[in-house]
């Protein structure tokens, strides 16, 4: 889960969408997430989704606790999503760091 060679963080106000923000979090997870917590990441993304709704912004947002990303994980692995994708990934990481597992799954999801 390392950045590509030469890839540097950019100011958050230069990000165009949630996917670019996730790319920035991947570059510097310690700046964004206490103890690299997936639940903190899910909370950040929940707030992002709420802000989109409140401000009437039209952005494809797939990262809600039970949104398209969670539905894909549930369909792909059969993991329950009652508590959101963060808990499901943490529970099924099988020794892999949960944040690394998240980004691995995110990369796979982005290819579909």
For residue range 80-94, list pLDDT tens digits in order.
999 999 999 999 999
> What pLDDT, on a 0 to 100 scale, did the predictor assign at position 1?
46
Q: Please write the tens of the pLDDT for every residue from 34-43.
A: 999 999 999 9
DSSP string spanning 28-56? -HHHHSGGG-HHHHHHHHHHHHHHHHHTT
Strand, coil or helix: 16: coil
* pTM as predicted: 0.89
Q: How confident is the model at residue 3 (pLDDT cuts 50, 70, 90)?
A: low
The full set of domain ranges for the chain reads 14-110
Q: What is the pLDDT of residue 2?
A: 47
Does the pLDDT at position 13 exceed 60? yes
50 by Cβ neighbours in 10 Å (0-12 / 13-18 / 19+) ranks as exposed
pLDDT > 90? residue 57? yes
**How would residue 5 be classed by pLDDT, with cut points 50, 70 and 90?**
low
| The 3-state secondary structure of 65-107, one letter per residue | CCCHHHHHHHHHHCCCCCCCHHHHHHHCCCCCCHHHHHHHHHH
Q: 9 in helix, strand or coil?
A: coil
């Amino acid at each position: 889960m390392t950045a590509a060679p030469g890839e540097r963080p950019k100011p958050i106000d230069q990000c165009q969408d949630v996917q670019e923000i996730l790319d920035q979090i991947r570059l510097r997870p310690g700046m964004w997430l206490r103890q690299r917590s997936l639940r903190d990441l899910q909370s950040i993304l929940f707030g992002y989704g709420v802000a989109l709704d409140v401000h009437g912004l039209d952005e494809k947002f797939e990262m809600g606790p039970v949104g398209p990303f969670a539905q894909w994980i549930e369909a792909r692995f059969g993991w329950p999503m009652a508590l959101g994708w963060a808990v499901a990934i943490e529970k099924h990481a099988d020794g892999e760091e949960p944040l690394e597992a998240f980004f691995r799954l995110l990369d796979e999801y982005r290819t579909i």
